Amino acid sequence: MRIAVLGAGSLGTIAGAYIAAGGQDVELIDVYQAHVDALNETGAKITGTTDFHAEVKAITPENMSGVYDLVLLLTKQLYNHSILQDLLPFLNDQSTVLSLQNGIPEEQVASIVGRERVVAGSVEFGATFIKPGVSELTTEFNRFKEYAFQIGELTGEVTERIEQIKKILDLVGGTHISTNLVGTKWSKLLINNAFSGLSAALNTEFGGVLDHEISVESAVHIADETIKVAHANGVEFADMGGFDIASLEVKSEKDIPERIQTLRDIMRSSRLLKASMLQDLEKKRKTEIDYINGVIPRLALEKGIPTPYNDMVVSLVKHAEETKELPVFDSNIKFFEELNN
């Protein structure tokens, strides 16, 4: 099977390294020439909660050729339209595109590459790009080996191709097949909304969100808004890492201390994670905020559900994008303090 990792950044470097080390025919495709050169010359190095090295083959998109049987889509959602159009000549009827981006991009991906070709999933580990050739794994290694991906067919069927893709991703980390893909993507969206959104809006790692009383309470409210909007839109959450995400709903104010403790427990192995949106702000780039926290106010509008915490995250992250200045924790936490009171 000929595999492409399209977008070999923070995550793609890690996925590509382990797939190559597993003996698969895989190309890491990225526009960053210095990174592609380093990958070819010195291999892919994974630091952080592990220390791993693998020889890989990397190319820039102009050097793509032939047909890929499986493409792991790991570029940012912002550029899907042009990246997927450019991918079309390298797909045939049997090719599969595995959409692993955060958010819920599957309908857009299907509209460009064709529904039959699309399978999707969520990535449950964190990665930070360090320098050309090097990416850091930020999730505890044992957790990564147990819960790295949830993947599924758009129809929820357990097909031969999804089982085959599971075998390939198992070379990277623990991979589980979901029969409720929409629920899987929404469960990941909830974690992104609560933790990646606040990590970017407050310029801190997930541990920083968990440790401060105001930010952790805000994470509880962001999760709650996400659950209420999801339920109003007919979404049933899938378990994530064996945890029932819907149980984070706040039914009354009295639930809040317990929800805070639950978040601290379930996110303990993710304290080092730095949101990919924060990594974008550091590079003075646009983030995926419209496809992450931004999804909630859009869907809430027609249902009449208030979403002040997600709105605040969107507004603070967009402000940082516009000014190209990193958020300051001590200043931005005050906006959440006002919401909590």
Ligand X SMILES: NC(=O)C1=CN([C@@H]2O[C@H](COP(=O)(O)OP(=O)(O)OC[C@H]3O[C@@H](n4cnc5c(N)ncnc54)[C@H](OP(=O)(O)O)[C@@H]3O)[C@@H](O)[C@H]2O)C=CC1
Give residues in contact with ligand X (CB under 6 A): 6-7, 9-12, 29-32, 61, 74-77, 79, 83, 101-102, 123, 126-127, 129, 276, 288
By beta-carbon distance, which residue lies closest to ligand X?
Answer: 9
Q: Would you count residue 273 as binding ligand KPL (CB under 6 A)?
A: yes
Chosen from ligand X, ligand KPL, none, partner binding at 31 (C-beta under 5 to 8 Å by type): ligand X
Alpha helices in the chain (DSSP H): 10-21, 33-42, 80-87, 106-113, 141-146, 160-169, 181-191, 197-202, 206-211, 213-232, 256-266, 276-282, 295-301, 308-323, 329-340
Nearer to ligand X, 218 or 276 (CB): 276
Quote the least distance from Cβ 184 to ligand KPL, whole Å: 13
Residues 6+ apart with CB under 8 A from 141: 49, 50
Chosen from ligand KPL, ligand X, none, partner binding at 191 (C-beta under 5 to 8 Å by type): ligand KPL
Nearest alpha carbon to residue 151 among 126, 168, 136, 137:
168
What does the angle CA 193 – CA 151 – CA 265 come to, to the nearest 5 degrees? 45
Tokens 């990646």 belong to residue: 196
Nearer to ligand KPL, 27 or 30 (CB): 30
Chosen from ligand X, ligand KPL, none, partner binding at 77 (C-beta under 5 to 8 Å by type): ligand X
Q: Would you count residue 275 as binding ligand KPL (CB under 6 A)?
A: yes
Q: What distance in Å separates the CA atoms of residue 135 and residue 129, rounded to the nearest whole number?
A: 5
Residue 4 DSSP symbol: E
Nearer to ligand X, 74 or 214 (CB): 74
Residue 171 DSSP symbol: T
Q: Which residues inside 5-64 make contact with ligand KPL, applying CB under 6 A?
A: none
Yes or no: say if 95 and 109 are a contact pair by the CB < 8 Å rule.
no
Chosen from ligand KPL, ligand X, none, partner binding at 80 (C-beta under 5 to 8 Å by type): none
Q: Which residues inside 117-176 make contact with ligand KPL, applying CB under 6 A?
A: 123-126
Chosen from ligand KPL, ligand X, none, partner binding at 45 (C-beta under 5 to 8 Å by type): none
Nearer to ligand X, 136 or 224 (CB): 136
